[in-house]
């Protein structure tokens, strides 16, 4: 099975999974049909399914046109009326795409939206806008508690899991992470590598979960360094990991972005 990154808009990535033996493919979060159709045509692939993580238009905007070209294509996604799903999938459900050669486990990860899900197989996580390299999604619909618990689920995956997020936000996220954790040598080194990659227009994702646990402030809500940084910033005692996450997210939303 091959995984192809399809860039779109200003910073989106659509992930195309394909089986070159039988020419079947599935696409994760196709917000625009044009780059997907171009790739499918160039690679001589047949789109058999679409995997949706959440309802935002930059993740579902291309579905209608893709279905016109591939009417037998099945859309999988969460139970959400805002998504044109053919088959709804739920937490811990197994989704076996035999033609692609992938057997996914569905993981409910509410927070960015109320019905957000992720797809996991073979130490690969397609997580939409829940987790980014050195960052996480804004809480448009979910609560801090929900996002905290969703990120906790992700942290429990194997350390060598590859995180296929949906946006190229890494360099900007590092800018905020350095404010929260300015003495993190791993973070400084990561920034150098990311700048070098972006200068060559090379993507910085997928990232590796083990590294994210060391540099991503939104995964380090139990780390004393982050706890103290957040408490000092807000000039109050913050010891609960949910509150640490909540205030870290609030810090970025109100004073950085």
The verdict on whether 148 is a catalytic residue reads: no
**Collapsed DSSP state (helix, strand, coil) of residue 71:** coil
DSSP string, the chain: -EEEEEEETTTEEEEEEEETTTTEEEEE--S-HHHHHHHHHHHT-EEEEEE-----HHHHTTHHHHHHH-TTPEEEE-S-TTS--SEE--TT-EEEETTTTEEEEEEE--SSSTT-EEEEETTEEEEETSEETTEE---SSS-HHHHHHHHHHHHTS-TT-EEEESB--HHHHHHHHHHH-TT-HHHHHHHHHHHHHHHTT----SEEHHHHHHH-GGG-TT-HHHHHHHHHHHTS---SHHHHHHHHHHHHHHHT-
Q: Which of 55, 59, 116, 246 is catalytic?
A: 59
* Residue whose entry in the numeric block shows the structure tokens 């939206």: 113
Q: Which of 116, 148, 167, 247 is catalytic?
A: 167
Q: Which of 58, 116, 181, 247 is catalytic?
A: 58
Q: Which of 29, 32, 54, 181 is catalytic?
A: 54
The verdict on whether 59 is a catalytic residue reads: yes
The verdict on whether 129 is a catalytic residue reads: yes
The verdict on whether 58 is a catalytic residue reads: yes
Q: Count CB neighbours of 205 within 10 A.
A: 19
Q: Which of 55, 56, 116, 246 is catalytic?
A: 56
Q: Which of 29, 32, 129, 181 is catalytic?
A: 129
Nearest to 130 by CA among 145, 146, 116: 116
The verdict on whether 80 is a catalytic residue reads: no
Q: Which of 29, 32, 55, 112 is catalytic?
A: 112
> Which residues are marked as active site?
54, 56, 58-59, 112, 129, 167
């Amino acid at each position: 099975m091959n995984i192809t990154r399809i860039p779109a808009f200003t910073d989106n990535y659509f992930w195309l999974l394909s089986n070159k033996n039988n020419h079947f493919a599935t696409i994760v979060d196709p917000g625009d049909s044009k780059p997907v159709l171009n790739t499918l045509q160039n690679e001589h692939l047949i789109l058999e399914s679409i995997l949706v993580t959440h309802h935002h238009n930059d993740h579902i905007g291309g579905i209608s046109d893709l279905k016109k070209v591939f009417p037998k294509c099945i859309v999988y996604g969460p139970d959400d009326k805002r998504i044109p799903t053919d088959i709804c999938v739920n937490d811990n459900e197994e989704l076996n795409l035999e033609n692609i050669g992938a057997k996914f486990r569905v993981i409910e990860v509410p927070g960015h939206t109320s019905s957000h899900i992720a797809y996991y197989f073979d130490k690969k996580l397609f997580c939409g806008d829940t987790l980014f390299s050195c960052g996480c999604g804004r809480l448009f619909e979910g609560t801090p508690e929900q996002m905290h618990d969703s990120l906790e689920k992700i942290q429990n995956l194997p350390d060598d899991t590859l995180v296929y997020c949906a946006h190229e936000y890494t360099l900007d996220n590092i800018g905020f992470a350095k404010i929260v954790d300015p003495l993190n040598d791993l973070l400084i080194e990561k920034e150098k590598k990311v700048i070098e990659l972006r200068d060559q227009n090379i993507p910085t994702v997928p990232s590796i979960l083990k590294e994210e646990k060391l540099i991503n402030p939104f995964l380090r809500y139990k780390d004393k360094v982050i706890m103290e940084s957040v408490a000092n910033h807000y000039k109050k005692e913050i010891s609960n990991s949910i509150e640490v996450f909540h205030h870290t997210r609030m810090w970025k939303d109100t004073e950085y972005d």
